[in-house]
């Protein structure tokens, strides 16, 4: 394999037992022509609402070097280089398995009801200066995303960081088997995807499947979750050689001692092996304290330098839709906008409200723009209504609500706190635009399917004064 090639035709044939068409060498892999880069191998997956073979022509027009296909009609490869297989998803999994086998990288797999993407991104950020690091992009954590991420890992990688998600029991086990991590992390257990589970214990058992990929490796578990014992027992029963815990509990191995929050980040003190660790995280929100403890414990378990990693947390970049902070001109002043619009469940929604509550508001108001939390099943109405507790505790002044589920919250909120409600994001937008005032601090939070990110897009359409990380 050449230095710049991720996969050559011969490597791919060996991994998949497919039929080669032409000779080629790909520098990357893509399943989406919208994000495909020049030199990629395009994998034509069959989805519930589309067939990737319909996009092969566009893939080549966009710079693909070859296509992995299971159909060979005249309009598919059409004389272009590629690889013909019986099933493209099986072939992608085969590339993932081969990619995992050919590297000596230390591998971490991360799951949890909340915090897994932030923890994954932070791990990649702090490990990159310590060695070649490959990690899951965006939230590629499902039955397509995990094999794609593994297949994208170069052979000379030092650290591989992979996020694994699920909606149903049994989904994590095969993905953990592909990743075969040296370290498996469970960030937290919280009510998420409850439409598919009867209890939080079932959620915990599903998350514990990540330990099935360990073979003498290390399990890292949130000590403060009520399901710690269940998770720890599952880890030891399925192959973990040891367990590292993190949290505020006095029993935690990586223990949180103090956390001070301000508008641009948090300052932490933790204790590890009798040693005090003091460091800064360049993202606001108390939930980042837990993410950071998981990150540092994982760095140590992977053989990285924990002190260097702790220092690197200060420069952690913002993540769009996951707590990124913008300062925007508004009227005769400006507003500070916390974009947490990517996803939500009761645990992460409460964390977002706590973050907003810790923001000094000066002359303005604390404003929450909230959308439905999806896939909560029978607990949905109660979970939405219960948000009133954190709204009151954190001195939130005005709340704008989008989605039919939020009607349960509107019914129990004091009328003075309800800025407006609509079943749709489009319906809420004009209410928000007319209701915000200069000097407001605004937090936007909802499940991604609600589309509350479109309100963020509208609010940030004008150039911001400057990114909040540079705002003094």
CA dihedral 108, 111, 114, 117 (to 10 degrees): 50
Please tell me the predicted confidence (pLDDT) of residue 462.
59
Using DSSP's 3-state secondary structure scheme, residue 312 falls into helix
Using DSSP's 3-state secondary structure scheme, residue 61 falls into helix
Please tell me the predicted confidence (pLDDT) of residue 469.
40
Cross-strand pairs, 466: 327
How would you write the pLDDT of the chain (472 residues) with one tens digit per residue? 444 899 999 999 999 999 999 999 999 999 999 999 999 999 999 999 999 999 999 999 999 999 999 977 767 998 999 999 999 999 999 999 999 999 999 999 999 998 999 999 999 999 999 999 999 998 899 999 999 999 999 999 999 999 999 989 999 999 999 999 999 999 999 877 777 888 999 999 999 999 999 989 999 999 999 999 999 999 999 989 999 999 999 999 999 999 998 878 899 999 999 999 999 999 888 889 999 999 999 999 999 999 999 999 999 998 888 888 889 999 889 999 999 998 898 988 999 999 999 888 778 999 999 999 998 989 999 999 999 999 999 999 999 999 999 999 999 999 999 999 999 999 999 999 999 999 999 999 999 999 999 999 999 885 444 344 433 3
H or E element, residue 128: none
C-beta separation of 181 from 162 below 8 A: yes
Domain 324-470 has CATH 3.90.190.20: yes
Domain ranges of the chain: 7-87, 103-315, 324-470
* CATH class entry, domain 103-315: alpha beta
Please tell me the predicted confidence (pLDDT) of residue 464.
45
Buried-exposed string 253-285: b where 16+ CB fall within 10 A, e elsewhere: bbbbeebebebbbbebebebeeeebebbbbbbb
Domain 7-87 has CATH 3.10.290.10: no
Phi, psi (rounded to 5 degrees) for 81: -65, 150
Q: Is the dihedral of CA 348, 206, 45, 124 positive or negative?
A: positive
Report the residue count for the chain: 472
Question: Cα–Cα distance between 67 and 85 in angstroms, integer?
Answer: 11
Q: Is 395 left (phi over 0), alpha (psi -120 to 50) or beta?
A: left
């Amino acid at each position: 394999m050449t230095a710049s090639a991720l996969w050559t035709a011969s490597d791919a044939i060996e991994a998949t037992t497919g039929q080669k068409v032409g000779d080629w060498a790909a520098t990357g892999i893509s399943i989406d022509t919208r994000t495909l880069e020049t030199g990629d191998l395009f994998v034509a997956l069959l989805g519930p609402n589309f067939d990737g073979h319909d996009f092969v022509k566009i893939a080549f027009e966009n710079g693909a070097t070859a296509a992995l296909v299971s159909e060979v009609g005249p309009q598919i490869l059409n004389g272009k280089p590629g690889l013909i297989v019986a099933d493209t998803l099986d072939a992608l999994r085969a590339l993932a398995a081969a990619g995992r086998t050919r590297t000596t990288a230390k591998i971490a797999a991360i799951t949890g009801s909340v915090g897994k993407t932030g923890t994954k991104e932070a791990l990649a950020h702090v490990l990159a200066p310590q060695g070649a690091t490959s990690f899951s992009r965006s939230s590629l954590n499902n039955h397509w995303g995990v094999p794609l991420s593994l297949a994208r890992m170069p052979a000379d990688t030092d650290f591989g960081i992979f996020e694994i998600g699920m909606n149903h029991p049994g989904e994590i086990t095969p993905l953990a088997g592909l990743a075969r991590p040296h370290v498996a992390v469970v960030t937290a257990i919280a009510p998420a995807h409850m439409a598919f589970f009867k209890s939080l214990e079932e959620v915990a058992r599903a998350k514990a499947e990540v330990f099935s990929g360990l073979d003498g490796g290390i399990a890292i578990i949130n000590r403060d979750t009520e399901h710690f014992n269940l998770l720890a027992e599952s880890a030891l029963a399925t192959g973990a050689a040891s367990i590292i815990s993190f949290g505020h509990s006095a029993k935690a191995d990586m223990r949180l001692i103090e956390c001070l929050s301000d508008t641009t980040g948090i300052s932490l003190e933790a204790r590890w092996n009798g040693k005090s660790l003091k460091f800064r995280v360049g993202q606001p929100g108390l939930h980042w304290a837990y993410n950071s403890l998981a990150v540092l414990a994982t760095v140590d378990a992977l053989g990285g330098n924990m002190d260097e990693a702790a220092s690197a947390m200060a420069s952690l970049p913002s993540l769009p839709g996951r707590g990124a902070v913008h300062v925007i001109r508004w009227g005769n002043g400006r507003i500070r906008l916390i974009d947490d619009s990517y996803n939500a469940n009761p645990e992460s929604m409460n964390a977002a409200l706590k973050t907003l509550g810790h923001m000094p508001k000066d002359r303005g108001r604390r404003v929450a723009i909230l959308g439905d939390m999806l896939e909560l099943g029978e607990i949905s109405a109660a979970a939405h209504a219960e948000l009133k507790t954190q709204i009151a505790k954190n001195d939130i002044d005005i709340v704008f609500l989008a989605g039919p589920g939020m009607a349960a919250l509107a019914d129990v909120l004091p009328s003075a706190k309800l800025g407006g409600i609509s079943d749709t994001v489009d319906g809420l937008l004009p209410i928000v635009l007319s209701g915000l005032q200069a000097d407001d601090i605004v937090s936007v939070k909802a499940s991604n399917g609600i589309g509350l990110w479109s309100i963020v897009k509208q609010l940030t359409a004008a150039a911001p004064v400057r990114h909040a990380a540079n705002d003094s």
